[in-house]
Structure 1
Amino acid sequence: MTLKGALTWISTGGGGLLIGAVLGLLMTVGFEDPLKKRLQRIRRRSRRLRPRRRTPNVAEFEFGGVTSPCMIVAGDGTEAIREELVHLVVSDEPLELPAELAAWRSEIATEEQAKRAAGAPHHWNGDCFAVEELVEERTDRDEEVEIFLQLRRTDYYSFLASQHLDRRFRDGTTPRSRWIDPVGHRRAPAFMSLSIGTSVLVITTDHRVLICQRGPNVGSRPLHWGVSADEGLSAKLDSPSGLPPRLHATARRGLCEELSLEDHEYRLALLGFTIDTERHQWDSVFVAYAHDLSSEQLDRRLQRSAKDRALEIESWEFIPFDVRSVLRRLTGGLPARAWTPVAPVALYLALVHEYGRWRVERLARSQSNRLRRSS
């Protein structure tokens, strides 16, 4: 084969796919396998050094008189978790649902396919990731937070089936009573942890935070008010070559698709990981500081729409980014708003990151006392 012919073959679909597959395999062996071995060493060491502590079955977050069915799993907002210290390791072992959940998944698949055939709004069954385990460590030199997330591949219909936590089986038990209550949310099995996403708060240059109302047709908590942008990890979009996804990249994708924000327009910081204890959904909380955009400029951009804005966002507003203003918005207003469980937690972590824990919690206690006196 001539040099010109070889270059032509490489540039064609077949040649490119073959080379891509080989490079993907080399990168997997070179990067993911050492991470898996390191995670196994950390897990063995942790079991020797620390006793297993049971996570409370019912966990509610409280902030300035606001309560939310959510728990913080890692991170406290004071310091950002550096991108290079977040490792996502994807297991090759397939995830299987118990027989009862598999039957519910089949029901959901039939219903969604019927909606699609009728031309009605429906959910498509994309590939996603389940959380098998989160391990939090400290780096040797600087003792920074380092996160290892062990993931398994799953699909969206399995996630929808796992959301019926209080639906009863024939024996009267529920998924919550069988698989979450005995061990707590932190140690629930992977087939119940079929969701891991990113929730991002955007802070503009005039020190206002964007909060958004979710669209009426989203799969989880439609029309609830929440963060600026949220995005679930997708195997197709975030791991197209088969390599493990990256949380920061998923958060950036969400900001681009929902708010039309480009990577160079903000500074992104990961503040923590949470679990929605009402529906057992894992999440990661980010804050994005705009470099040049004011709230007025971002509002005009949103009015011009974004790729997924019409699907994901029903309405939005900007509020001053300070403790009192945030708490007034969470607790006040008529009619009362329904908030996503992660929204108060994300706002708390972002405020702590900006002002420090002591000041935020002092003002929050003052707000709680005022609410108690007025009730």
Structure 2
Amino acid sequence: MTQFRHLKYCNIKIVSLLAISALLVACPSSNNGYKTEYHKNTNALNILINQYANNIEQIWGPHEVLIAGPKDFVEYSNDLLTRVHINFVSGQLAIETLSEDPKNQLKAAIVTTLLMTEPEDISKQSNAPIDNSKEPFLYKQILDETGQPIRWDWRAAHYADYLVDNQLHTRKSGKKQISYVNINLVPDHVNERAHKFIPLVRQSAREYHVDERLMLAIIQVESNFNPFAVSRSDALGLMQLQQHTAGRDLFNRWGKKGEPTKSYLLDPKNNINMGGAYLALIRDSYLAGIKDPVSMRYAMISAYNGGAGSVLKTFSKDRTKAIEVINKMTADQVYQKLTTSHASQESRNYLIKVNQILKK
């Protein structure tokens, strides 16, 4: 029987692959007052991910490649014949298999998924059995056929039996037959996930004097409260931090050598703590001198996505002049400038999305 254990899943495998391709290039220093920044060379990373995707395509067929992302949790069994996909935007969970023994494979995958814990615990478990002392990550986000949340293995096993016996479907992918079950997360699944991390956000916000509402809005836009989040830019965890930029800079300022590991950044406690620290670093160092607190917030949000240098260059090529220009503008004018003139369309949209959440 195919083993279906936490550390063997696709997103954890991809994280391991990313470590091989952690290639950095430093931009040349300039004389315009901007701090030298580091940019990720993602070519090797994309090659590795594409190779892995090719393996999946060969097994599952064309148009069947699923890879973990910031808002998509994707895991494969060791032989790649069974997979789990949680879309944290739509709130849908699909468990699929190509196995010749689909019922048993689906049941095993369902139970493991319903009882899986957060990355902090998974990184410590290796191939150990499921730790029932830990509250499952999906607890209260999925209810069984009787409307009850799933906390223990007996209820997970009972629900798995129910799903396979009553909601098993099949579909064709070329000549391959895929057996699957779909599970809907509860309507307020985003709030259920957010609730898990509010204490950590509050603690970080207080320590670094950052608005906790801002941190929660950034987490929602970055990962929709998916602690397993990974991206092709090698950003990790709830607040999508990179080892080689924010991670390295913060470690250096904390007197630590090197940079955080991937498992360190996937730990929600570490990720949220570093996210708050990074926002404070942006405010107190990279964007120091902006006087209006609302203008500062807009600049911080944009800088969190695209870098402080790009924010300041939107107003002037010279850092000192950029700060002066910002301080002469109203907060509304700063927002308008950043959402229409920033060099990156992604950063323009990012500010709009985060600001819309803050207005709710």
* TM-score bracket for this pair, using the shorter chain length: under 0.3
TM normalised by structure 1 equals 0.25
Q: Could you say which structure has the greater relative contact order, defined with CA pairs below 8 angstroms and 6 or more residues apart?
A: 1
TM normalised by structure 2 equals 0.25
Q: Which has the higher helix share?
A: 2
Q: Which has the higher strand share?
A: 1
